């Protein structure tokens, strides 16, 4: 760590993230490693001393980034049969069996005619705006990242069910377009409200890849979805904010499209799905990368030294472009992950800052 560096002391979190994302020479390596990415409560190993060490290491990272999210629920969580269940503001039913929330019911799944009476959430709801004001009130000089999650495709399948969402563009093109455009309108409303509050970036999420390939043909993605993403990206860039996008799986076939449209930060690099050396060779310096430390294999089955070596490789591959890398994991840490590997993760990122 370069804690004594004069440059580190002078640069703000907002400035440092901007420098990293825009390839302008960050003063230190920005990292997103807290919160939901390392859910200590669900790790199987419960060694108290190791957990305390992890928390102490977490506290050594600069408080330089703030994530904000004002999603709402129609029905707040209620525990039934030992399982918390709730309904989000779109009407999708969720349950948490102990290792993250999963959808259980889909409000438009049975029939597209339900659209005629469906009530969309309001991006400009007064309670939501109050929540936005409150969430950014104490941001200081941190880089503020507004979440607009389940951005488009994911929201469509959370409403229609996964299989329906895949076939709707072909079997129900008119209704598909109607639903997509209504979701887009909500997203644009959220973007506009966050932009009024001066956020620095937007975190979108749509998982488009399996472990091996895209979920649909690239040509169909370009026809049915790309124009909508372009509208979202353009709205974000209209006020100088950054576009972050989380896409699980192998999305190599559409990554050039995303970059051409203005993607600034690609999250989260998944090395078991895409070769990180290929990513760095083809797209390093064109888009910033966030994540990449392998939670599927290295974090679970590797040694602490394996974890450290992987982090060093990622920093070298993606961060060599006068920036271009934001430290992090390929996804949520799995419950079976050894605590020693989590400790190693934090230690090496602190070492490289």
Burial of residue 153 (number of CB atoms within 10 Å: 0-12, 13-18, 19+) = buried
10-residue mean pLDDT series, the chain (353 residues) = 51 97 97 71 94 92 95 96 96 92 96 95 98 97 97 98 98 98 98 98 97 97 98 98 97 98 96 96 98 96 98 97 97 94 97 93
Residue 149: Cβ within 10 Å count: 13
Distances (CA, A) of 306 to 40, 51, 245, 309, 312: 21, 20, 28, 5, 10
DSSP letters spanning 71-96: --EEEEEEEETTEEEEEETTS-EEEE
Bridge pairing between strands 265-269 and 288-291: parallel
CA dihedral 116, 72, 168, 96 (to 10 degrees): -130
Q: Can you say whether the dihedral through the CA atoms of 202, 88, 160, 115 is positive or negative?
A: negative
Over the range 39-76, which residues count as b (16 or more CB within 10 Å of their CB) and which as e? eeeebeeeeeebbebbeebbeebbebbbbbebeeeeee
Q: What is the pTM of this model?
A: 0.95
Q: What pLDDT is stored for residue 40 in this prediction?
A: 84
Q: What are phi and psi of 286, to 5 degrees?
A: -105, -30
Q: What length is written for the chain?
A: 353
> Going from the N-terminus, what domains does the chain have, and what CATH number goes with each?
6-72+108-352 (3.20.20.210)
């Amino acid at each position: 760590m370069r804690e004594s560096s004069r440059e580190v002391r002078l640069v703000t979190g907002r400035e440092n993230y901007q420098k990293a994302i825009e390839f302008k020479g960050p003063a230190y390596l920005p990292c997103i490693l807290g919160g939901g990415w390392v859910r200590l409560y669900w790790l199987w190993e419960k060694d108290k001393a190791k957990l305390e060490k992890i928390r102490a290491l977490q506290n050594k990272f600069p408080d330089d980034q703030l994530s904000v999210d004002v999603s709402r629920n129609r029905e707040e969580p209620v525990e039934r049969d030992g399982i918390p269940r709730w309904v989000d503001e779109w009407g999708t039913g969720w349950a948490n069996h102990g290792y993250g929330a999963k959808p259980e019911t889909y409000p438009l799944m049975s029939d597209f005619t339900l659209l005629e009476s469906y009530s969309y959430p309001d991006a400009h709801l007064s309670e939501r705006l109050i929540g936005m004001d409150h969430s950014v009130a104490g941001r200081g000089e941190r880089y503020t990242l507004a979440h607009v999650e389940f951005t488009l495709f994911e929201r469509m399948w959370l409403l229609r069910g996964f299989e329906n969402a895949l076939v709707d563009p072909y079997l129900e093109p008119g209704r598909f377009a109607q639903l997509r455009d209504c979701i887009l309108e909500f997203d644009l409303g959220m973007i506009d409200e966050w932009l009024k509050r001066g956020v620095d970036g937007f975190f979108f999420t749509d998982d488009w890849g399996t472990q091996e390939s895209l979920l649909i043909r690239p040509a169909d993605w370009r026809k049915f979805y790309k124009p909508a993403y372009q509208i979202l990206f353009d709205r974000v860039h209209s006020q100088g904010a950054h576009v972050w996008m989380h896409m699980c799986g192998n999305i190599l076939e559409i990554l050039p499209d995303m970059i051409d449209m203005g993607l600034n930060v690609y999250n989260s690099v998944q090395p078991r799905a895409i070769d990180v050396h290929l990513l760095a060779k083809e797209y390093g310096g064109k888009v910033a990368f966030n994540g990449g430390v392998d939670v599927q294999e290295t974090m679970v089955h590797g040694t602490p030294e394996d974890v450290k070596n992987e982090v060093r490789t990622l920093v070298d591959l993606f961060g060599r472009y006068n920036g271009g890398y934001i430290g992090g994991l390929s996804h949520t840490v799995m419950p079976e992950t050894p605590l020693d590997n989590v400790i190693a993760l934090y230690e090496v990122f602190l070492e490289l800052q």
